[in-house]
Amino acid sequence: MKYAVLADVHANLTALEMILKDIDNRGSVDGIWCLGDIVGYGPDPHQRIELVRQRCSVCVAGNHDWATIRKIGTNHFNVAAGDAIVWTRKRLKPEDVKYAESLPLTIEMGDFTLTHGSPRDPIWEYILSEAEAQESLKYFKTHYCLIGNSHLPLLFQCEKSCALSELSDGSVIKLGEKRLIINPGSVGQPRDNDPRASYAIYDGEAGTVTLHRVEYDIPAVQLRMKESGLPEKLIKRLASGQ
Ligand code: ZN
């Protein structure tokens, strides 16, 4: 069984389409797992939710999804992110809201727990340090955990303590004894200085998770963001991957 793992698409339809093409070009997968933050930042919220509904077999909710459907307020977001959420709210169709409302905070899929922030706090927490990864271990029952939220492709390998490593295009994680927390990076707004869209493929037979980066037409997305009046800061950061 093979599954693609996507996180933090953030309404970037162009990046998502290129990733779906890349997944299809690599042969079929048995499903696509989505780790939340479907919307926010990007210019295509409705189309994005529509495509996630069609293609992703399971999906959890992220902080931007919840803020967009008013399950949480915008006061904990920075100004640009808050403005993008308010912009997004006006563009969602009732079926998009219904879908976002139906998303759970965590899902277990075989050996994996899927969540957006962390298993302790699926909406808000960022797992960036070895200590934070260590603390998270007691909050999920499965052997491995898949997270998003930071937009950084990261691996934590845990035994007595957790060791952090950064993932790049083609990185292969071997699944074994150690408990792992894996972040596949962001589809729609990478922040590891590599502007290419990021995702991973879990291969159950080979016992691996492999990270992939995919180029997409960044200027086209920036143009749509500009035309939509989205904050300049968000438009610029797409090109630098920061
Ligand atoms: Zn995000």
C-beta separation of 68 from 88 below 8 A: yes
205 CA to middle of ligand 1, Å?
A: 30
List the shell of residues around ion ligand 1, using CB closer than 5 Å.
Answer: 8, 37
Distance 227 CA to ligand 1 centre (A): 22
Gap from CA of 174 to ligand 1 centroid (Å): 26
Tell me if the pTM is above 0.75: yes
Asked if pLDDT for residue 207 goes beyond 90, the answer is yes
Ligand 1 centroid from CA 79, angstroms: 15
What is the average pLDDT value for the chain, to the nearest integer? 93
Q: What is the DSSP string of 47-73?
A: HHHHHHHHH-SEE---HHHHHHTTSS-
Separation CA 134–CA 193 (nearest Å): 26
Rounded distance, CA 38 to CA 44, Å?
10
Q: Tell me the CA–centroid distance for residue 206 and ligand 1, in Å.
A: 29
| Rounded distance from Cα 151 to ligand 1 centre (Å) | 6
CB atoms within 10 A of CB 166: 12
Give yes or no for a contact between 29 and 19, defined as CB atoms under 8 angstroms apart.
no
Q: pLDDT band for 90, please (50, 70, 90 cuts).
A: confident
Q: What is the pLDDT of residues 176-203, one digit of tens each?
A: 999 999 999 999 999 999 999 999 999 9
Give the Å distance between the CA of 8 and the centre of ligand 1: 5
Mean pLDDT of 97-109: 95
15-60 tens-digit pLDDT: 999 999 999 999 889 999 999 998 877 788 787 788 888 888 999 9
Q: Torsion angle, CA of 8/41/104/204, rounded to 10 degrees?
A: -10
Cβ contacts of residue 16 below 8 Å, gap of 6+? 6, 9, 48, 51, 52, 187, 188, 197
